[in-house]
Amino acid sequence: MSNRKAFRRGFRRFAKNPLQLGSLIIFAFVVMVVIMPHVFAAYDPLKMDYTALMKGPSVQHWFGTDQFGRDILSRTAYGAQNTMKIAVLSIMMATGIGTVFGVVSGYFGKWVDQIIMRVIDSFFAFPSIILALFIIAMFGASMTNLIIAIGVVYVPIFARTIRGSTIALRESLFVKASRALGKSHLKIMITDILPNISSIVIVTFTTNLSTALLTEAGLGFLGLGVPPPHPTLGSMVGQGNNYLLSAPWMALFPGLVIAVIVLSINIIGDGLRDVLDPRVGK
């Protein structure tokens, strides 16, 4: 009951800022598009129409058409679905694996921590897009491989953040009390540590969701995304880039959609941090 109250109070604090409320509404709309793109797409995203090649924005085609006469608005809707799917699933994967590594590393410390952190550091030394590029080149471009590639790239970020919070908790009284009562390490990690780092996990999830979206878009732009003809927002910008001066709408509209989605996630993330992270406070 008190949980619900706290949630409501937090939400009210969050919604007081019009920018945050607006972002939440935009993001809710994006989620709707992602769940049912067919409602928002007037055309089949893969259907070519040779009577309407590279047409500018019009009443029939709000975002114009591409070099095969495909409707860009419809492709953007389905592209957003693919892009969001990859970003959300890869960050969920990174959250899962990173949390396990982070908690284990921070809780046990000593040589366990040393080994895990050394490997993580060597990943950290590398620009994420280059790492993802290698993984995609290794396994080939497909949706599953993209999710794995981006997921792997983000594991170190989660592991590091969560390790830090776990170390702080490890020395706290209630954990020591649990040890004294004879609880097993595993049980302490699950029942004592995890619930107390959940808000940090949520904040890290949102802030990295937006950068994962940008990573996916970047890979798509470089031609390493989901193979054609299936659209993702990044690959649409990449293809449109070849027609920038003759048909700028091909690249600019999908790019705008990426920017708006990422912007709304970033604003929501900032707001969540203010509400959830006690260290930031006022």
CB 67 within 8 A of CB 243: yes
CA dist., res. 148 & res. 229, Å (int): 21
Residue 185, C-beta contacts closer than 8 angstroms, at least 6 positions apart: 107, 108
Asked if 164 interacts with other proteins (CB under 8 A), we say: no
CB 187 within 8 A of CB 243: no
Asked if 112 interacts with other proteins (CB under 8 A), we say: no
Burial of 108 (0-12, 13-18, 19+ CB in 10 A): middle
Binding letters toward other proteins, positions 232-251, x by CB under 8 A: --x--xx-xx--xx--x--x
Shortest spacing between CB 281 and other proteins, in angstroms:
12
Phi and psi angles of residue 65, each rounded to the nearest 5 degrees, phi first: -125, 165
Asked if 140 interacts with other proteins (CB under 8 A), we say: yes
Among 130, 173, 180, 181, binds other proteins (CB under 8 A): 130
Asked if 222 interacts with other proteins (CB under 8 A), we say: yes
Shortest spacing between CB 143 and other proteins, in angstroms:
18
CA dist., res. 65 & res. 68, Å (int): 8
List of residues contacting other proteins (CB under 8 A): 19, 118-119, 121-122, 125-130, 133-135, 137-138, 140, 210, 214, 217-218, 221-222, 234, 237-238, 240-241, 244-245, 248, 251-252, 255-256, 258-259, 262-263, 265-267, 270
